[in-house]
Amino acid sequence: MRVMKQSLRKVVKVLNNPEEDGGFWLPNIQRPFVWSEEQTCRLFDSIMREYPISTLLVWKTRAEIKCRKFIDNYRATHSAHLSHFFVPPNKLKKGLVLDGQQRLQSLFIGLCGSHEGRELYLNMLSGEASAPEDIKYQFAFRASAEDDYDRIPAAFRKNRSRAYWVRFKDIVFSTRDPVTEAQKLLQDCPLELDDAMRSKISAILGQAFKTFHSDEGIVYQELDSIENADLYGEDDVVEVFIRANSGGTILGKSDLLFSLLSASWDQSNEEMEFLLEDLNRGGFAFDRDFVLKSCLVILDRGARYEVSKFRQPGVREDIEAKWELISESIKDVSDRLQSETYIRCDKALPSYNVLMPLIYFRFHHKAKWQGTRDLGSYILRTSLAGTFNSSPDQLIDDIVEHLRKQSAFVTPDVLDLIRNRGKPVELSEDRLWEQGYGSKNVHLIFNLLYRDFNYSPLFDGNMPQVDHIFPQSELSRLRMLNPETGRNSLMKYKKPQRDQLANCMLLTAFENGFAQKNDALPTQWFGDKPDKYLEAHLIPTDRNLWKLENFEAFVDARKALIQDRLKHFLLVRADT
């Protein structure tokens, strides 16, 4: 292993560039770029302050490894479509970055590209920080030097009136010497500069030249398989990658597991992309963790999600060989989820673990799948009862073992098994009324109460929103007698009473925004609404109950309406 040093402005020219000793690329085992604009700006601030940014790890090889380019002009959609950046496998010399992707990718975007169409600028009048954790050098992605200030992250909004924004790549890649470059910046500055400001601009420019031109700007360790092809094999490199990235919080478990899978299966990234895109088109949030864990369940490896299982002989090969049926099984379960329940979005599915026994059954018993009944009842009951919310792995394994023996998914039998394991499968009235504003199950309950509500709008910003019927602001003003003082000084309705389910309703984004439900009392909001609207929202039609002084009576009446809507298929046992 060799330790190499490089200037920062030089290293970004090596990315994606085969003319620079083969160039640096990203191996298929690497996850997507995940840093935010703020993290990227903080990296540049750290470099300017000469803080260490850790060592990179690069594998030099000629192996025909599937790899991809670094992204120059970043868009959020790129994270979901990594296949757009793959380069054909080849036997040319190349450097594959095993550790340091986020830092190099941020440098590449800031110095050679853009972030959502905006380039990186530096405020030449920054350079002060009251504490080490504060931002000293103010960087921001902007459309131009005159871009709207509101685009800058809040953490960087300091000295608004003292800003001279300069595109940073123009400084880093300037062919002028520092003195001539400083003179040009001072000449081009649109502000009236005093001596202190002139000194600051010159000092910041000098610091930028020092940190980005220095030959010791970045350090990387190099694993060389070109001079000795047998020194590091592909399995060795995957192991190095996992060990390098699993010591901290850089990678999630799915990244580690997927690195093992993608090392032996070239098409794994594209196939995973296609599957997740299909699954999430309707408003869900299936992720790689869910798919990989489902693979373990399907292959009878148990639900416990462990890296070691993907090292077991045959596991990765089985997933690749059976991927078409695995994908088909997961998609079929997703279709039944939507068609047999009123669950239509991620918010209304408290735990995706509820689906894994169904995926197992669909995979192993395709011929029986369409004829299996009451799957919606199983999903709804266990979701509402929170059956899979905690310690689900053993329960999943127990259900899978039952399905293996019975070769049938009989919902009452599965629910009985769950009860026998001490897990709930009924939504009790007490648990129902524990739900409310901000609770995990409130969207699931509303998905059932509001059967015609659009939980899959075209834009995420138009998702239904939970709001208070009697506004919090009005209820929190009400006071009651304090027996100790004899004054009306005690808050009459505390947060749990204000947030309870019976005081919540579902609104469209338009109603809660442009129509300004906000602090409107029921007498105002419901006053001009037709009976159909009141019925849809389960609002008592007695207008006297809409008055603020009748809040408690309104809650009692609405509880009765909610319970009546749910009782027929939620509050009864499956075997009664």
Tell me, what's the pLDDT at 148?
54
Largest CA distance in the chain: 89
Of 207, 260, 228, nearest to 51 by C-alpha is: 207
Q: 140 — phi, psi (to 5°)? A: -160, 145
Bigger pLDDT: 252 or 266? 266
Question: Is residue 3's pLDDT more than 90?
Answer: no
Q: Give the DSSP H or E segment for 553.
A: helix 551-566
Q: What is the pLDDT of residues 511-534, one digit of tens each?
A: 765 556 678 899 999 998 999 999
Question: Is residue 35's pLDDT more than 80?
Answer: yes
DSSP for 463-511 reads S-EEEESS-HHHHTT-EEEETTTTEEEEESS-HHHHSBGGGEEEE-HHH
Bigger pLDDT: 83 or 529? 529
Q: Is the separation of the CB atoms in 273 and 323 below 8 Å?
A: no
For residue 121, give the DSSP letter: E
Instruction: Give the C-alpha separation, 440 to 447, whole Å.
Output: 13
**HSE (CB half, 13 Å, CA atoms) of 430?**
0
Q: What is the pLDDT of residues 181-197, one digit of tens each?
A: 999 999 989 888 899 99
Calculate the average pLDDT of the chain. 85
DSSP for 307-374 reads GGGGGSTTHHHHHHHTHHHHHHHHHHHHHHHHHHSS--SGGG-S-GGGGHHHHHHHHH-HHHHTT---
Tell me, what's the pLDDT at 428?
75
Looking at 230-239, 245-254, 304-313, which range is the least confident one? Answer: 245-254
Length of the chain as a residue count: 576
Q: 506 — phi, psi (to 5°)? A: -100, 130
Bigger pLDDT: 257 or 177? 177
Instruction: Give the C-alpha separation, 464 to 574, whole Å.
Output: 30
Taking the chain, what is the end-to-end CA distance rounded to the nearest angstrom? 69
- For the residues 270-293, what does the mean pLDDT come to? 89
Instruction: Give the C-alpha separation, 435 to 441, whole Å.
Output: 7
Q: Is the separation of the CB atoms in 110 and 101 below 8 Å?
A: no
Q: HEC string of 134-193?
A: CCCCCEEEECCCCCCHHHCCHHHCCCCCCCCEEEHHHHHCCCCCHHHHHHHHHHHCCCCC
Hey, what amino acid is at 309? K
Q: 77 — phi, psi (to 5°)? A: -65, -20
Bigger pLDDT: 263 or 168? 168
φ/ψ region of 242 (left if φ > 0, alpha if ψ in -120 to 50, else beta) reads: alpha
Tell me, what's the pLDDT at 209?
94
For residue 303, give the DSSP letter: S
For β-strands 218-224 and 2-6, DSSP reports them as antiparallel
Hey, what amino acid is at 292? L
Give the CA radius of gyration of the chain: 30
Question: Is residue 408's pLDDT more than 80?
Answer: yes
CA 203 to chain centre: 40
Q: Buried (b) or exposed (e) across 103-137, using 16+ Cβ within 10 A? A: bbbbbbbbbbbbbeebbbbbbbbbbeeeeeeebbb
Show the tokens assigned to 310: 């993907």
Show the tokens assigned to 116: 């959502």
Instruction: Give the C-alpha separation, 229 to 59, whole Å.
Output: 12
φ/ψ region of 23 (left if φ > 0, alpha if ψ in -120 to 50, else beta) reads: left
Q: What is the pLDDT of residues 413-466, one digit of tens each?
A: 999 999 999 998 877 778 788 888 988 788 888 888 876 665 554 444 556 788
Hey, what amino acid is at 182? A
- For the residues 197-217, what does the mean pLDDT come to? 92
Percent of the chain exceeding pLDDT 70 equals: 85
Question: Is residue 48's pLDDT more than 50?
Answer: yes
Show the tokens assigned to 301: 């490896």
Q: In which band, very low, low, confident or very high, does the pLDDT at 244 lie, cut at 50, 70 and 90?
A: low
Tell me, what's the pLDDT at 152?
47
Tell me, what's the pLDDT at 443?
84
